[in-house]
Structures are given as structure tokens and as C-alpha cells.
Structure 1
Amino acid sequence: MKILYFYDPLCGWCFAFAGAVKQLKEKYPDWDFEIISGGMVRGVNEGPIGNMSSYILSALPRVEEMSGVKFGAAYREVLKDGTQNTSSVPPSKALAIVKKHFPEQQYSYAEAMQQAYYIEGQDLTSIETHKKLFADLGLPVELLENEFDSEEAMKLALEDFQFSANCGITGYPALVIQKGEEYFLAAKGYTSFEQLANVVDRIIE
């Protein structure tokens, strides 16, 4: 059994869904687990967060009400200021480096990025943010510095984006259970842990 979690660090609903994913991992600690970066914000969608800040600010109350998560004051200030750059590519490269060298830390890193972004308002396109996250998790910062702008990191991130597309994932978060050679969509969009657990229980019966 394997959990495939399709995620994007710039997806607010993924931040809301993080608790359910963590509980699922804790319920099935022996299952394989992998995060697949979706590449939600890239190409023509990259640019200052001000391009989408009005929409995001209007959506935050609903996300908070449905999930119980709270977005930080610093993140709200980033939205109001509107100048911070947004792109899913740099954080997806950082996660790809973690997945390659420290796969057991991938969930912790994804969670750390969400805390840095949605609570502290840090810039996930900056290597300086990721250097701090590496240091906080006890990962080698020098490795990040050597690989962050490498062709390999970009290749791995793009492979995740392509795999997500090949699986027909068009929105985030999404969670798939792999049972042998079969794949089952367990969550599409925000789902509570209770709902998720019920679906997974039916899959494994």
C-alpha cells in the first residue's frame, strides 16, 4: 500500500488538508508515502502575488471555517502588499532535493514550507528561505546550495509535474491510494480526516 499525496506549496487548501494527511500517515505508519508536486503556479501564472491577492483574501475565511486552520498575520500582510513573487517551481525543486536524498523527511519539509509561507509570510521562491528550513530540519544546507539551481533539481520537479498531469490531477490537494497495481482516488480537494479515513477503509477492505 502506498499513499500518493498530490500537493502544491502555494495551495491554501493543501495547507488546510495537511492535518488530515498527517493523521492518515500516523494511522498507517508502515505504508509507503510520497508527495507529488503539482506545479500549480508556473509559466504565465508566475508573478507578483498581488495578481491574485484579492481572490485569496476573499477565500481565506472559508478555508479557515471549513478546516480550522489559521493563516498568519504576516501572510495576510504579504497578500496586501502584493509584491512578493509567486512560483511553484523553486519550492518544488527544494522538495525534490529532499525527496532524492532524504525521502523520510519529505512530509516534514512540505509541512515546514507551509508554515513558513502561510504563517510567517516567507518567500518560497528565495533560496534563503529554503536554507533556513534545511537548517531547522537538520538537513545539510551546503547540499541545497549545490543543487538548488541544478538541471537535476529542475528535472525532478518537472517529472513530478508531469506525473501529476498524467494521473489526471487537475486540482490540489488530491490523495491517491496505490493498492498493488491499482490506484484509488481517496480525496479530491479539501477533505476532513474522518471522510478521508472512511474512504481509505473502504479501499483496503
Structure 2
Amino acid sequence: MSDTTLYYVHDPMCSWCWGYRPTWDTLQAQLLQQFNQQLTIKYLVGGLAPDSELPMPQAMQQMLQQTWHKIAQQLGTQFNHDFWQHCQPRRSTYLACRTTIVARQYGLEQQMINSIQQAYYLQARNPSDIGTLTSIATQLGIPADLFNQQLNASETEEQLITEINLAHQLPIQGFPSLVLMAANNAYPIRLDYQQWQTSLADIRTILSNPPA
């Protein structure tokens, strides 16, 4: 079962991923404790929106603000709504996705995702801006010059496209999603935003009854 992989499909600027984060953190800890030798956890960026310098349309801004309020109401997730007054929103997440790929090379992928989310949702900073991402990278110990060089490298772009294409091939409904790959079969895992036990039960069932 060493080739069994749980894919967490996400985008660092996905607000529902931010809402799911506490449950996902607990689920990860449980999986590492119970299936450390049987299961590999991999993050997969799905890419919500390609690079753009255009301001986000007003209708989309209003829709996303409503989504933030909905997540806060349903899950108790904290948001800093000053973002919509202090920043120029853009529908552009690929830069943040590439940033997590660069951070992965330093063993800092989860820390980078968490830092991007905190900057965006708690500190009203814009992760669509290179300055925000460079600042986060340096705070995590990645030199700014190396970070920018790797961020713009063709290998990073190729990895992003590879992950987006893989995400499109998996049985997912959106972000975040969980998919368990076992014996070359892809199993969608139920994702409950407040009950990590739901996903764990699915994973345990598959791992205890591996396909032939």
C-alpha cells in the first residue's frame, strides 16, 4: 500500500479552503497518526483563475463578499472584510499557486499556504500581488531573489499546468476536494467542513479493503 496517495486539491486563494482548514489540519494529524506507513498526502493546486492585471468586476467582488459572509456564518471562519476597501481585487490565483510550488521545494508548502491564507483573509493583503508573496516568502526564510527566480522559472509553470491537468482528471466537484489513489483507482472522499471523521471513515474503509 506504499503507493497509496491522498490528494488534497485546493487553491491557496479559495475561500472555502480557508473555511475547511481547521478540519483539514485535524484530519491530516489523524491520518499521520493512524496510517503513516500506508499513506502519502500530496497537495495539488487546481488553479482557480489565470494571471490577470485587470480589476475584478464589481459583480464578482460582491459575489465573493457574500461567499465570505456565508462561510463565516456556516463555519464560524474569520475574515477581514477590509480587504475589499484596502486592496484592488483581481481574479488571479495562478501566481499564488506557483508560490506554493516554489515553497514545496524548501519543505515549506503548508506553511506557505497558511501564510497566504492569513495574509488574504485576516490581514487584508492581496496574494495576487507579487509584493505580498515575496514578503511572505522572505518571512518564511526563502531569499527574495531566489524566490522570484524560481517563481518565474519555466519548470514552475510546467508543474502548475501538470497539477491543474491532473486535478481536472480526478473525480472532484470543486475546491477543496479529497481523492484517494489506491491500486491505480481514484476514489472521491467525502469532505465535511466541520466533521473530519467523515473523510477518515471513507479512507479507513478503502485502506482496510484494498481493491484487487
TM-score by length of 2: 0.82
Q: Does 1:67 align with 2:75?
A: yes
Q: Does 1:86 align with 2:94?
A: no
Q: CA deviation at 1:196?
A: 2.1
Q: Does 1:200 align with 2:206?
A: no
Q: Encode CA deviations 1:110-141: one digit per residue, 9 max, x unaligned.
A: 12111111111211122221222222222333
Q: CA deviation at 1:170?
A: 4.2
Q: CA deviation at 1:80?
A: 4.6
Q: Does 1:42 align with 2:38?
A: no
After the TM superposition, which of the residue ranges 113-122 and 182-191 deviates more from structure 2?
Answer: 182-191
Q: Encode CA deviations 1:37-76: one digit per residue, 9 max, x unaligned.
A: 11112379x742644121122222321232221112xxx1
**3-state secondary structure, aligned to 1:3:** strand
8 Å CA contact 2:23–2:193 kept in 1: the answer is no
Report what 2:157 is aligned to: 154
Q: How many residues align?
A: 200
Paired with 2:55 and 2:171, the residues of 1 have a C-alpha distance of 26
Within a 5 Å distance, the mapping from 1:26-175 to structure 2 comes to: 26-29=29-32, 30=36, 31-42=39-50, 47-48=55-56, 50-72=58-80, 76-80=81-85, 83-99=88-104, 101-102=105-106, 104-175=107-178
- The aligned amino acid for 1:6 is V
Question: Which has the higher Rg, Structure 1 or Structure 2?
Answer: 2
Paired with 2:133 and 2:88, the residues of 1 have a C-alpha distance of 19
Report the identity percentage: 16
Bigger proportion of residues as helix: 1
Cα RMSD of the aligned pairs, angstroms, is 2.5
Within a 5 Å distance, the mapping from 1:174-189 to structure 2 comes to: 174-187=177-190
8 Å CA contact 1:51–1:82 kept in 2: the answer is no
Paired with 2:76 and 2:206, the residues of 1 have a C-alpha distance of 27
8 Å CA contact 2:99–2:133 kept in 1: the answer is yes
Q: CA deviation at 1:186?
A: 1.0
- The aligned amino acid for 2:177 is A
**3-state secondary structure, aligned to 1:52:** helix
| Unaligned ranges ≥5, structure 1 | none
**C-alpha spacing 1:189/1:156, structure 2 compared with 1 (3 Å):** farther
TM-score by length of 1: 0.84
